Amino acid sequence: MIKPVESATRPGKNGGAATIETVADILDREVQVIIQEWLTRVEKESGLMSIKMNRQDRTGHLPHLLHDVIRRLRMEAGTKGPISTVAAEHGDLRYKQGYIAAMTVE
């Protein structure tokens, strides 16, 4: 696995330098946008919306999940991450809320 370079630059359009960002940096910066886009898509899925929840109940886990992914992306190359307790807790919560496994995957 190649370790990403966080502050590398390369020639951009019109000869200027463009900064190359890591996926982790982009996710970190865009967490709220990602959550809103995710919610917009979920709201179009009648099966998922059949489980009645308020916005907080539906999205409250997402910052934790995204930050868990970001932490994993920033780990040293070759490092094996621990089992995600955040993901396990999310699965348990969704089960208690009435989701079946296929809905959680969707």
DSSP per-residue codes, 29-46 = HTHHHHHHHHHHHHTT-H
Q: Where does residue 78 fall: left (phi above 0), alpha (psi -120 to 50 degrees), or beta otherwise?
A: left
- CA 89 to CA 102: how far, in whole Å? 17
CB atoms within 10 A of CB 48: 16
Domain boundaries defined on the chain: 22-105
State pTM to two decimals.
0.72
Task: Report pLDDT for 15.
Answer: 63
Does the pLDDT at position 1 exceed 50?
A: no
Span 74-102, average pLDDT: 89
